[in-house]
């Protein structure tokens, strides 16, 4: 992911929030985005949009490497860009497993 994009910090914050409480994955739009928006003095809609942009840029630039790194070899056939929720929860779950 490109660290110079605003969405990088928002994405990182969302992942950290889910690592703290995986139940937040059920409240991504009503809990996670508003909390990030408040922290960074913006709106939940801008948070969601910026996260979408950073995921899209990563997907478009290095799709094969991106898919392999995030989803593993089994998903190398994946064509569609993951949603914000899919991306954030997948990374949070992988990090959570690696921490155990």
pLDDT tens for each residue of 12-60: 999 999 999 999 999 999 999 999 999 999 999 999 999 999 988 887 7
Which residues, at least 6 apart from 10, have a Cβ–Cβ distance to it below 8 Å? Answer: 36, 40, 47, 50, 51, 54
- The dihedral sign for the CA sequence 23, 27, 31, 37: positive
Is 79 domain-assigned? Answer: yes
Q: Token pair of 97, please?
A: 């497993």
Using pLDDT thresholds of 50, 70 and 90, give the confidence band for residue 71.
Answer: low
pLDDT score for 98: 74
- Note the pTM of the prediction, 2 decimals: 0.81
* Percent of residues, the chain, with pLDDT higher than 90: 52
Residue 1 within any structural domain of the chain: no
Query: For residue 64, is it within any domain?
Result: yes
| 31 falls within a domain | yes
pLDDT at 76 over 60: no
Written as six digits, the tokens of 41 are: 């003095």
- Using alpha carbons, select from 77, 84, 79 the residue that is nearest to residue 28: 84
Domain tally for the chain?
A: 1
36 touches 10 (CB < 8 A):
yes
Domain that holds residue 93: 6-99
């Amino acid at each position: 992911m490109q660290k110079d994009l605003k969405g990088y910090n928002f994405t990182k914050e969302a992942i950290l929030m889910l690592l703290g409480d995986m139940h937040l994955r059920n409240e991504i739009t009503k809990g996670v985005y508003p909390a990030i928006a408040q922290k960074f003095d913006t709106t939940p809609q801008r948070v969601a949009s910026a996260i979408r942009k950073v995921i899209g840029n990563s997907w478009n630039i290095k799709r094969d490497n991106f898919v392999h790194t995030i989803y593993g070899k089994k998903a190398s056939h994946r064509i569609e860009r993951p949603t914000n929720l899919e991306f954030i929860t997948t990374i949070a779950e992988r990090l959570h497993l690696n921490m155990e």
